[in-house]
Structure 1
Amino acid sequence: MRGRLKTWPRHWVWWAFGLVVAFLLAQVSWWLAFQRNYIQQNIEYAETAWLQEAALVQQLWAATAPEKRSALLAELKAAFPHLEVEGERVYVNPERLAAYRAEQMRHLRMFAFEGPVFLLVMLLGLYIIGRSLRSEQEYKRRQQNLLLAATHEFRTPISTLRLLTQTLELRELPREKALAYLAHMTQEIARLEDLTERLLTTSRLAQGLGQVKPERLELNRLTGLCLARQQSTLTARGAQLNFEPAPHPLPVKLDPEAFGLVFSNLLDNAVKYTPAPEKPIWVRLRLEKDQAVLEVEDRGVGLPKGEIPQLFEPFYRVGDEQIRRTRGLGLGLYLVKSITELMGGRVRAEALPKGSRFTLSFPLAETERRPV
């Protein structure tokens, strides 16, 4: 069809890769066999030629007068260093012949070593190219999914806003109903702002423009403020928040807006991937050596252990069909990791028997570090 990108089926790609590998194996095997036969022929030719030379020199030696043999011997040693003369006998020096054979066999061993190394390097290069192409294909697939998800995510609030505004324009509504419509519109606008902010933040991080402005803050208080701002929205979505602050202050240097975005993404992730009507979420803070630790734990669908290393990649979403039906762009955890590292922290994910746990750790402010 016109305008449609045509791609090779995956099995044809693997067939082509297999043919290239088979060709390389055949080429290296043929090259090694050729070198082995060539060197063996050289050894046999040298032995035959030296024996023939010894026979000719033997005839020349026998025909030479004794008084002229000393001069002839010097010429023979210069012209045929591999021949020896003892009395009336001329023969091939066995040590010279053994040395020649050893030299040729050394060349053969060198070729036998270089051939597999060459094959290994070529296969490694093909493997790296294949992995790169596969990663690029996977990245493009995720980008395509992002475009589809973003289109859906933007279309839903825009359609809702259009419907509500048309309703307000065309109908006289009671004040309570109009205020409810306006509150709904405000929520949809906030949703659009959140989507836009995530996309812009992702773009800035991808271009290396992400910046944070750290301030000296107390993590218990900062987390409590962020939680209070989002509690009503999260409760409306079925979240049951359990906040467990640390028993002592946790002074850190963080950008409050950046931390708010990170914390919001973790809470949204916990609610989104808990399909049950009641969504218990635990937010815990503690001191661990010289680190302030924040945990967000849920009882949702959990994390496949084989996919945990990919969770923080851009546009990645866990492949379970139930999770795919949830809304999102696949950017939340990527932003969590990127922004946390910009603030000097670390993040890790852990699969629980039921649910998952995400842990953030930040170094304590220098002047407030406690002894272990």
Structure 2
Amino acid sequence: MKRRSIGGPLAIGIVSMVLVLALAVGWQILVWRRGPSAGSGFSALDAVLFVLGTLFFLLVFAGLVWLSVKLVLEMRLNQSQRAFLDAVTHELKTPLASFRLGLETLARHELAPPQRGEFLGRMGEDLDRLEETVGQVLAAARAEETLSSRANAGEVELDSLIARNIEELRDRHGLPDECVRLDRPTRAQRVRGDAAELALVFRNLLDNAVKYSDKPVRVRVAIEPTQDGRVRVEISDQGIGIPKQELRRIFRRFHRVGRDVQRQVSGLGLGLFVVRTLLQKQGGRVVALSEGAGRGSRFVVTLRPA
């Protein structure tokens, strides 16, 4: 489906605002010049009409500005939703097609045990990819539920939770231990929150650190208490980095950085949206830092102490 550019509507809105503004200024100059020429200056009625006319012009101008801004925002949201649907379609159809091919191959051919095991392994990876896609969509839907998750909040030992996430990350991506390093203080850090949601937060952040890193992968996770009593977790990588103008946008729903990156790395544009939303519901926050493209990135999470 062809994507519509926002340039056309934006240009029409700007031209319309300029014309209305020029018309208002011209009308005021014309009225002002003709008033004194009558020899008696402005009457009370002239003054009222002058003020009302100016006010109406300003209201029309403000309305055009508002409509133009809303139109641009709606078109951007529409583009993001289309990109999301394209990504979901790709993320669902690709592993399904691969899984079907594997099933047909196993059904039609008598394969040696090593080859059969290889096909079964690939089919398992396809199922994992499908599960991850569906999980991201469901997590994004749950993250926006109006019911606060603080009702399920409890005391969570953050060190153990992140250590488990790192072990699962190494298993998922087949990484040696030295690729993902965990630095933690001697004293265990306990925070207030929902353990399942915090696990999802750090799973998304760690997965992104690996997916957007070039070989060899180097990810560092540091846990430390802050001076105000909170707990700070920094996840840093040496990957492709984030352009500075994108640092705030990456937490928006459906947003993905750059078409080149989208072609290289699959995704739905939901992971960081889920991270920010879940942390906000639990009284935490997340900040993205990067020196720019090719300079790596850092995600700093701050959580409430238990």
Tell me the secondary structure at the aligned position of residue 316 of structure 1.
Answer: coil
Q: TM-score with structure 1 length normalisation? A: 0.71
Shift in CA distance, 143/7, structure 1 to aligned 2, threshold 3 Å: closer
Matched, 1:152 2:93: no
Write out aligned runs for 1:181-330 (5 A): 181-206=119-144, 208=146, 211=149, 213-236=152-175, 240-274=179-213, 276-289=214-227, 290-330=229-269
Q: CA deviation at 1:211?
A: 3.9
Matched, 1:360 2:301: yes
Shift in CA distance, 132/15, structure 1 to aligned 2, threshold 3 Å: closer
Matched, 1:166 2:104: yes
2:19 to 13, 18, 22: 22
1:10 to 7, 12, 21: 7
Tell me the secondary structure at the aligned position of residue 311 of structure 1.
Answer: helix
User: What do the CA deviations read for 1:205-231 (whole angstroms, capped 9, x no partner)?
Assistant: 345467462221111111111211221
Q: CA deviation at 1:165?
A: 1.6
C-alpha distance in structure 2 between counterparts of 1:254 and 1:8, whole Å = 42
Is this contact kept in 1: 2:231–2:303, CA < 8 A? yes
Shift in CA distance, 164/226, structure 1 to aligned 2, threshold 3 Å: same
1:351 to 287, 290, 297: 290
C-alpha distance in structure 2 between counterparts of 1:210 and 1:159, whole Å = 39
Structure 1 match to 2:61:
123
Is this contact kept in 1: 2:181–2:221, CA < 8 A? yes
Matched, 1:175 2:121: no
C-alpha distance in structure 2 between counterparts of 1:330 and 1:9, whole Å = 21
Stretch moving more, 249-258 or 305-314: 249-258
Q: CA deviation at 1:348?
A: 0.5
Q: CA deviation at 1:255?
A: 1.7
C-alpha distance in structure 2 between counterparts of 1:239 and 1:315, whole Å = 33
Q: CA deviation at 1:340?
A: 1.3
Is this contact kept in 1: 2:20–2:61, CA < 8 A? no
Number of positions where the alignment pairs a residue of Structure 1 with one of Structure 2: 301
Matched, 1:342 2:281: yes
Tell me the secondary structure at the aligned position of residue 100 of structure 2.
Answer: helix
Shift in CA distance, 123/139, structure 1 to aligned 2, threshold 3 Å: same
- Determine which structure has more spread, i.e. the larger CA radius of gyration: 1
2:71 to 94, 119, 133: 133
Name the amino acid aligned to 1:258: E
C-alpha distance in structure 1 between counterparts of 2:305 and 2:49, whole Å = 60
User: What do the CA deviations read for 1:131-155 (whole angstroms, capped 9, x no partner)?
Assistant: 2111110111011111111111111
Shift in CA distance, 319/174, structure 1 to aligned 2, threshold 3 Å: same
C-alpha distance in structure 2 between counterparts of 1:148 and 1:334, whole Å = 18
Structure 1 match to 2:38:
41
User: What do the CA deviations read for 1:275-330 (whole angstroms, capped 9, x no partner)?
Assistant: x2211111111111211111111111111111211110011111252444311111
C-alpha distance in structure 2 between counterparts of 1:286 and 1:355, whole Å = 21
Q: CA deviation at 1:6?
A: 10
Tell me the secondary structure at the aligned position of residue 222 of structure 1.
Answer: helix
User: What do the CA deviations read for 1:41-82 (whole angstroms, capped 9, x no partner)?
Assistant: 3626xxxxxxxxxxxxxxxxxxxxxxxxxxxxxxxxxxxxxx
Structure 2 match to 1:73:
none
Q: TM-score with structure 2 length normalisation? A: 0.85
Is this contact kept in 2: 1:214–1:254, CA < 8 A? yes
Shift in CA distance, 171/201, structure 1 to aligned 2, threshold 3 Å: same
| Unaligned stretches of 5+ residues in structure 1 | 45-100, 366-372
User: What do the CA deviations read for 1:13-63 (whole angstroms, capped 9, x no partner)?
Assistant: 51464145313421443145325533653626xxxxxxxxxxxxxxxxxxx
Name the amino acid aligned to 1:43: S
Structure 2 match to 1:69:
none
Structure 1 match to 2:270:
331
Shift in CA distance, 178/202, structure 1 to aligned 2, threshold 3 Å: same
Q: CA deviation at 1:336?
A: 0.9
